[in-house]
Amino acid sequence: MLAKRIIPCLDIRDGQTVKGIHFEGLRQVGDPVELGAKYASQGADELVYLDISASEEGRRTFTDLVTRIAARIDIPFTVGGGIASVEDAGRLLEAGADKVTVNSAAVRNPALIDAIASKYGSQFIVVAIDARTVDGRWVVTTHGGKRPTERELFSWARESVERGAGEILFTSMDHDGTKNGYPCETFARLSELPVPIIASGGAGNIDHIAEVLTRGCADAALAASIFHYDEIPIPVLKRELNRRGINVRL
């Protein structure tokens, strides 16, 4: 069985790591390169860097930041935010990113997934999906969760995989930043897809992460606040998950 992955997420705005609730009320929590190096040294399996204002402001992800990250960090990292073309993805790959994640641009132009997967391979593209529940239905949102769309979570995840996505990163906007746990039933349903599922949005303690990796059947747990504020050090988390019989790399 493949080891479950622990992935710190660094939301980037104006070159700094920030954190809020539901992507609002953001405050700075540190330098993205230094934080990434710290998490790598602590045993993180991968990192995700999201330029959370890129789509909203119409900017491209800063390539120079990716270059600086690649020079300091020796574990895989994924970069997202404002990636709207194969050229955008290629530029980040050349700068040192291991994978790119697309979200708003893919919803607007699903063929972008096909194009990136065709040129660079499915292993290079992660489709990030932000969704919230509306009348019992998971509605896909864009632009940092601010704009609802006509798309539904499960059908969009399935289409993304069919188009070539190598992984799905799902964030529940209902749970993001609340530290109240992940919607495990939703992740269990997503896990029926033939690609790894990364769980995001809601981690508040070790029990939440253990639950989404077991009952939620997620392949990886992504979190931000608990790592940024040193609430759960990565080595402590991994040792406890291992003690509970969850296969993680120590």
Q: Is 176 a catalytic residue?
A: no
Task: Given the residues 45, 51, 88, 130, select the one marked as catalytic.
Answer: 130
pLDDT, tens digit, 9 for 90 and up, residues 101-158: 999 999 999 999 999 999 999 999 999 999 999 999 999 999 778 899 999 999 999 9
Whole domain around residue 123: which residue ranges? 5-243
In this structure, is residue 166 part of a structural domain? yes
Query: Per the domain annotation, does 198 fall within a domain?
Result: yes
Q: For residue range 3-53, what is the model confidence (pLDDT) as tens digits?
A: 999 999 998 887 788 765 444 445 566 889 999 999 999 999 999 998 876
List pLDDT tens digits, range 150-187. Answer: 999 999 999 999 999 999 999 999 887 778 899 999 99
Contact 70, 55 (CB under 8 A): no
- Residue 72: inside a domain: yes
The number of beta carbons lying within 10 Å of the beta carbon of residue 139 is 17
Is position 130 annotated as part of the catalytic site?
yes
Which ranges of the chain does DSSP label H, i.e. alpha helix? Answer: 32-42, 54-57, 63-72, 86-95, 104-108, 111-120, 153-163, 184-190, 206-214, 225-228, 234-243
Terminal CA-to-CA distance of the chain, rounded, Å?
A: 15
Pick from 153, 107, 150: nearest CA to 132 = 153
Rounded-to-integer distance, Cα 218 and Cα 95, Å: 29
Contact between 211 and 185 under an 8 Å Cβ cutoff? The reply is no
Q: What's the pLDDT tens digit per position in 65-98?
A: 899 999 999 999 999 988 999 999 999 999 999 9
Instruction: Give the CA angle between residues 233, 237, 241 to the nearest 5°.
Output: 175
In a domain, 11, yes or no: yes
Q: Is residue 248 one of the residues assigned to a domain?
A: no
Quote the number of domains for the chain.
1
Residue 249 lies in a domain: no
| Residue 168 forms part of a structural domain | yes
